[in-house]
Amino acid sequence: MKTRLLTPGPTPLPEEVRLTLAMDMVHHRKEGFTALLGEIQQGLKWLFGTEQPVIPLTCSGTGAMTAAVGNLFKPGEQVLVIEGGKFGERWGEIAGTHGLDCAVMTVPWGKAVTVEHVETALKNYPDAKGILIQASETSTGVLHPIKELAAFTRERDLMLVVDGISAVGISPCPMDEWGIDCLLTGSQKGLMLPPGLAFIALSERAWKRVEEIKPRNFYFNLLGERAKIMVNNQTNFTPAINLLMGLSTCLDLFQERTMEEVFRTQWALTQMARAGAKALGLELLAKDHYTWGLTSIRLPAGVDGAVLLKACAERYGVVMAGGQGHLKGRIVRMGHMGHVDFADVMAGLYALAQGLKLTGGHSGSRDYLERAMEAFETSLADGPPADLC
């Protein structure tokens, strides 16, 4: 049986990428590789929508979150953390470890924050130097309004730090156009690579802040990394060479397809998963503001999520994720980011329906696959709504 990885990271790999990853080592200070890093830099800037350098880091996504906090803020400074899920919580943990004065604004899991709420919260925290938020909160499937928030923060002396780990390459998040101060992502979600690389870019004013603060990190030292990449097309330490070669292949694939096309497909897959789940009689966790790379689906009362997920994997080869924190066992998170197509989502919906039958929760219509495909076709033709782009 074929295994289908429908998890919100890691995601499946295109064959071209797997073949690149299988190549022999090259040396990271020699000309061939530095030329490749130069090309990758252009590709990453294009992907992030920025004129600023995009720094590759050898670590998982959380490493880039740590780098952001450690380089942009001094211990004792205040930040506002938007916490609407597991990864929002992580911002708070990282900021706390770094000795920041952390003001946490909780948002009900499944809901997006609003600019008005942030504005009100900031009245109590006039000294806040930045806002730490997810573009897409992967634990709930919520898409936060980054464009609107950036329009708000760019007028103020307030850094907008965006964890785009399940957004970059999945839904629009053009850094310079929107006015984001720090955008970061990891390799194993939308970018169709194995885990092990992260990327971080800062706005002009964010770089000024880093220059003033002069952070003392040895490893995640963004000033040092910027100098090295801009002058020599190198990284300060040995990077994950084969992952960077794989990234070059991924960027080629993105450029051939165009981001417009990638976003259109991600949008259509999302509509497909949502329509299918609804036709199965299921409720969606993120109702209005949902991400384009995963769909979080509530399970009917009495259905054991762990049993259902195990059945999907063992009987149909479909690997999906469950809930985290208080949502453990209560939701299914179907990933459809990266190298995933309509046939994968169809397999996901079918496995889910069968899993529900086994666990006593199936109550929806029999034509859920047709409805899902209809939603896919219509959304592919119409494209995503302009206000989200």
Using CB under 6 A as the criterion, which residues of the chain lie in contact with ligand PLP when the complex forms? 9, 60-62, 87, 134, 138, 163, 165-166, 186, 189, 195
For strands 78-83 and 54-58, give the pairing.
unpaired
User: In angstroms, what is the minimal distance from the CB of 316 to ligand PLP?
Assistant: 24
User: Which tokens sit at 130?
Assistant: 């930045």
Q: Which amino acid is at 224?
A: G
Q: What are the phi and psi torsion angles at 5 (to 5°)? A: -90, 95
Query: What's the Cα-to-Cα distance from 312 to each of 287, 322, 359, rounded to whole Å?
Result: 24, 12, 11
DSSP alpha helix (H) spans, 85-164: 86-97, 115-124, 146-153
* Shorter beta-carbon distance to ligand PLP: residue 33 or 87: 87
* Shorter beta-carbon distance to ligand PLP: residue 90 or 371: 90
Q: Is 333 annotated as a binding residue?
A: yes
Q: Please list, in sequence order, all residues whose beta carbon lies within 8 angstroms of the beta carbon of residue 129, skipping any fewer than 6 positions away.
A: 73, 77, 78, 79, 157, 158, 159
Q: Please list, in sequence order, all residues whose beta carbon lies within 8 angstroms of the beta carbon of residue 267, skipping any fewer than 6 positions away.
A: 171, 292, 379, 383, 384
* Shorter beta-carbon distance to ligand PLP: residue 311 or 332: 332
**Do 191 and 250 contact (CB within 8 A), yes or no?**
yes
* Shorter beta-carbon distance to ligand PLP: residue 193 or 318: 193
* Shorter beta-carbon distance to ligand PLP: residue 175 or 372: 175
Residue nearest to ligand PLP (CB): 61
Q: Please list, in sequence order, all residues whose beta carbon lies within 8 angstroms of the beta carbon of residue 142, skipping any fewer than 6 positions away.
A: 84, 85, 109, 110, 111, 112, 136, 286, 289, 290, 291
